[in-house]
Structure 1
Amino acid sequence: MGEALLAAYIQSLLNKLATGPLMNFAIQEGFDSELRKWRSMLRKIKLVLGDAEEKQMNDIEVKRWLDDLLVLAYDMDDVLDDFDYEALQQQNNSSSDPATSSSQLLDMLPLIKNITARFHDIEEQRNDLGLEANSGVRSSKISRRSEKP
C-alpha cells in the first residue's frame, strides 16, 4: 500500500476516533483514555509516513514496519467498528439489559490492550528505524520547489 493510501486510511481512523457518539460511549464505558492514546499514536505515525515510504525501498525492516502498521490499522478499524455498533445498540436500546453490553465490552478489553501494546511496539520500532517526522518524499519535493526561481 502506498504512503498516500496508508495516510488516508490512518486519517479515516483518526476521524472515527473524533466522532462524538463513539467518544461519548468510550467515556461512559471507561475506555476513553485508550482511544485517546490511539489517536495520539496515530498522529505521530502519520507524520513519519513520507520518510518510511522513501526508506522502505532500501530497508526491508522499514517495509516490515509499514506492513505491521497496516495490519494494526486494520485490526484497530475492526475494533472501532465493534465499538460503533455497541454505541448504536446502546443508543437505540436504552432499555436493554446493561449487563449484556458490559459483558461484551469486557470481552473486548483484551483486544483494546493488545492494540495499545502493538502501538507501543510500532512506536519503538519507529524510533529504532530512525523514521523522522515531515521528512522523506514530501519534504524533498517541497525543498526542490523552493529552490526554483
Structure 2
Amino acid sequence: MGESLLAAYLQPLLDKLAPGPRMNFAHQQGFHSELRKWRSLLRQIKLVSGDAEEKQMNDVEVKRWVDELLLLAYDADDVLEELYHKALQRHNRSSSDSATSSSQVQDLLAQIQSITTRFVYIDEEKSDLGLKERPGVMSSLVSP
C-alpha cells in the first residue's frame, strides 16, 4: 500500500527532526525535548493520515482536522527552518555576539511550545474523530 499524500507531506518534517545541526542547537538551547515530542506526535499522526485523507471526503470534521494539520505543518516547517538558520548563525558567530540573540531564542522557544500544544491537540483529536492506523504506513516511518 502506498503512502498517503498527507503522510508524504509530514515526512520532511520528521526528516528535519533527525539528528543534525538543528537538533544540536535545540539541545544547546534547552528545548530538544520539545522537538523530540514533535517527532513522536508526528509519527502517531502520520499513522492515521491515510484514513484521514479518505474520510475527509465525507466528513467535514475530518476535513477540518486535515486542514488544521496542514496549517500546523506549515508553521512547524517555518520554525524548523528558522531553527536551522539560528544554528548556522550560532556556529558562525563569535561568543561575544551570542547575548544579542537571547531574545530571538526566547521567541523561538515560545513558538516551539505553541506548536507543541497544537500538535498535542491534533493528536488527541484524531481519536475523537475515529481515525485509525492504516496497514503499510508503519513501514514508511523508517527514514532511509
In the superposition, the TM-score normalised over structure 2's length comes to: 0.87
Looking at structure 1, the residues matched to 60 and 96 of structure 2 have their Cα atoms a distance apart, in angstroms, of: 51
- Check conservation: 1:17, 1:35, Cα contact below 8 A: yes
- Within a 5 Å distance, the mapping from 1:12-27 to structure 2 comes to 12-27=12-27
Note the residue ranges of structure 1 that are not aligned, 5 or more in a row.
Answer: 140-149
Aligned match of 2:105: 105
Aligned match of 2:126: 126
Looking at structure 2, the residues matched to 23 and 16 of structure 1 have their Cα atoms a distance apart, in angstroms, of: 9
Runs of 4+ aligned structure 1 residues displaced above 2 Å come to 3-6
What do you get for the CA RMSD once the two structures are aligned? 1.7
Post-superposition Cα deviations, 1:93-115, rounded to whole Å, max 9, x if no partner, equal 13441112222111222211110
Post-superposition Cα deviations, 1:47-103, rounded to whole Å, max 9, x if no partner, equal 101111111111110001000000000000010111000000001113441112222
Equivalent pairs: percent with the same residue? 65
Q: Secondary structure at the match of 1:97?
A: helix
Note the residue ranges of structure 2 that are not aligned, 5 or more in a row.
Answer: 138-144
Which of the two has greater helix per residue?
1
Q: Which has the larger radius of gyration?
A: 1
In the superposition, the TM-score normalised over structure 1's length comes to: 0.84
